[in-house]
Amino acid sequence: AQTVTQSQPEMSVQEAETVTLSCTYDTSESNYYLFWYKQPPSRQMILVIRQEAYKQQNATENRFSVNFQKAAKSFSLKISDSQLGDTAMYFCAFMKTGANAGNNRKLIWGLGTSLAVNP
């Protein structure tokens, strides 16, 4: 079974600075996706960034980038130039894909990191 671990329940950062959120996962699968989702106080889960396991290049989306270390099963999120609107819960999630996964679209989640961006 797959597990996702986020070891930092809470973090804070000053506006305009950089912060890194950690995520490790455990799987015996070779084909999968990893995701970072953001859940602001409005409760709506929003996709921040996605990484395909077969891609060596780390994904980036504007101020958000990941450090994907497949052998170490590590998937950290770096937020640059932090903004007040980045204050939210951040969840790391795993999804199995490929022929063995069939139509399995189940997301397996970490417990989240609460990020506060301070002015």
Report how far apart, in Å, the C-alpha atoms of 61 and of each of 51, 80, 101, 112, 115 are. 11, 11, 27, 20, 18
How many residues are listed for the chain in this entry? 119
Instruction: Decide if residue 50 touches another protein (CB under 8 A).
Output: yes
CB of 15 to another protein, least distance (A): 26
- What residue has token string 């052998």? 71
Task: Give the DSSP letter of residue 63.
Answer: T
Instruction: Decide if residue 114 touches another protein (CB under 8 A).
Output: no
Among 56, 57, 62, 103, binds another protein (CB under 8 A): 103
Among 110, 113, 115, 117, binds another protein (CB under 8 A): 110
Which residues sit at the interface with another protein, rule CB under 8 A?
33, 37, 42-47, 50, 91, 93, 95, 97, 103-112
